[in-house]
Amino acid sequence: MAYFAVTYEYTDSSERRDQHRPEHVRFLAGLHEERRLLVSGPVDGGARALLVLAGESAEQVAGVLDGDPFHREGLIARRDITAWNVFFGADRLAAVTA
């Protein structure tokens, strides 16, 4: 299993994000329960978010995240998915995703 750091940069439409946030949170909670989403949260005062996911490839992670209601509603201006070679803490992450 590989790990991927994902950043979301949101559009300026905070009203529409608020409207779709409950569904977005349920979506991410489901990924967390499945142990695909390891950690996530807002950065830069909520203008962006950082997510760490386990997956087989960047393409597979992208396919999973395409189901995010924020993605579906066009509320993510930019999404970057980067393979993350974990050095410190790799054993802890492996225990979480096992």
- In what helix (H) or strand (E) does residue 47 lie, and over which residues does it extend? none
Q: Which residues of 2-40 are buried (b: 16+ CB within 10 A; e: fewer)?
A: ebbebebebeeeeeebeebeeebeebbeebeeeebbbee
For 47-57, how does the pLDDT look when each residue is reduced to its tens digit (9 = 90+)?
999 999 999 99
Q: Is the pLDDT of residue 98 over 80?
A: no
Query: CA-to-CA distance for 66 and 27, rounded, in angstroms?
Result: 11
Confidence of residue 35 (pLDDT cuts 50, 70, 90): very high
Domains of the chain plus CATH, in order, are 2-86 (3.30.70.1060)
Q: Give this prediction's pTM.
A: 0.91
